[in-house]
Amino acid sequence: MRKKVITFGDIMLRLSTPDYARIIQSTHFEATYGGGEANVAVSLAQLGVGAAHVTRFPDNELGKAATNLLRKYGVDTQHIVYGGDRIGIYFLETGASVRASKVIYDRSNSAFAGLEPDMIDWDAVFADADWFHWTGITPAISAGAAACCAKAIEAANRKGLTVSADINYRKNLWQYGKTAGEVMPELIAGCDVIVAGQGDAKDILGITPEGTNGDALASVFSQLMKRFPKVRKIVNTSRTSVSATHNTLSGMLWDGQEMLKTQTYEINPIVDRIGGGDAFIAGYIYGQLAYGNDQKALDFGVAASVLKHTIREDANLATVDEVEALLGGNTSGRLVR
């Protein structure tokens, strides 16, 4: 596919306990790297889409290792900048059955948090691009990262790219003196597609369902589109957690007129649910680029996310053929020879 998607955001060192161990009992951790936006880039690269990730790493072995991981999976890293003192870290304790998974973050004063708007030439980054994706995590990290994100969105709009964002709200990240309600509206206003739920709309924008009858989610989405006229599509997933290793997943899309929905999938057992949302939006982006059809794109995104739950580490490594096989009803998991 001769399309290119640019993603922008932080990447952290992921330290996971092995074999469902608890953090307090672990004597060693499994190390890899991941971040919401980078996970989208890796997933898209596996689906055959040109993908580049923009971030800032410390100029040391950890920064180089994270860069090499992106390159390993076919992501363009030419626009990564280097500087600062450290890479952020998150510790993952994988739950099982009735015990939930747990994440502990150690990301203060990361190289990415030290970003300033003039460190990245967005016109050069977007020179041959078709789509730009960011998440609400990026502007929450620091004032510099928020300003850099705003500059990127402005450049992407000027060049006619499709702009998407997962506006996920992480309350504990907003620590630099600004609230999500003060920063996010200007950024969302530059988007064509957003991933949002009722919680995000309420926590960031104060939007709640109107009236007592009808579809509450459609009411929220309608208000979002009224407030942000550039937004053409709002997508989201619905998850039911039976246990830490058994979930159901479906998706929905609001186009301003109707709510499209997907089938509901059973995911049991879950191998690794980290990055499931990133796999969904990556699959949706692929679907829009490949099919240009809302229902097909939504279906592809949810199926891609379902497959991600069977794959260790942050990013979805499923192929187009594997996603399409799942869409075709192949859920047996039989050995492929």
What 3-state DSSP class applies to 230?
Answer: coil
Torsion sign over Cα 258, 263, 264, 267: negative
Which amino acid does the sequence have at 323?
V
CATH architecture of the domain with range 4-321: 3-Layer(aba) Sandwich (3.40)
CB atoms within 10 A of CB 34: 21
Q: Which residues of 80-112 are buried (b: 16+ CB within 10 A; e: fewer)?
A: bbeebebbbbbbbbbbeeeeebeeeeebeebbb
Predicted confidence pLDDT, tens digits, the chain (337 residues):
678 999 999 999 999 999 999 999 999 999 999 999 999 999 999 999 999 999 999 999 999 999 999 999 999 999 999 999 999 999 999 999 999 999 999 998 999 999 999 999 999 999 999 999 999 999 999 999 999 999 999 999 999 999 999 999 988 899 999 999 999 999 999 999 999 999 999 999 999 998 756 689 999 999 999 999 999 999 999 999 999 999 999 999 999 999 999 999 999 999 999 999 999 999 999 999 999 999 999 999 999 999 999 999 999 999 999 999 999 998 877 757 6
Task: Tell me the whole-structure pTM to 2 decimals.
Answer: 0.95
- Tokens 């072995």: give the residue: 61
Q: In sequence order, what are the beta bridge partners of 248? A: 240, 266
Closest C-alpha among 43, 126, 112 to residue 84:
112
What pLDDT shows up at residue 1? 60
Strand 12-16, strand 30-34: pairing: antiparallel
- Tokens 């709640």: give the residue: 208
What pLDDT shows up at residue 330? 85
What pLDDT shows up at residue 210? 87
What pLDDT shows up at residue 213? 61
What 3-state DSSP class applies to 6?
Answer: strand
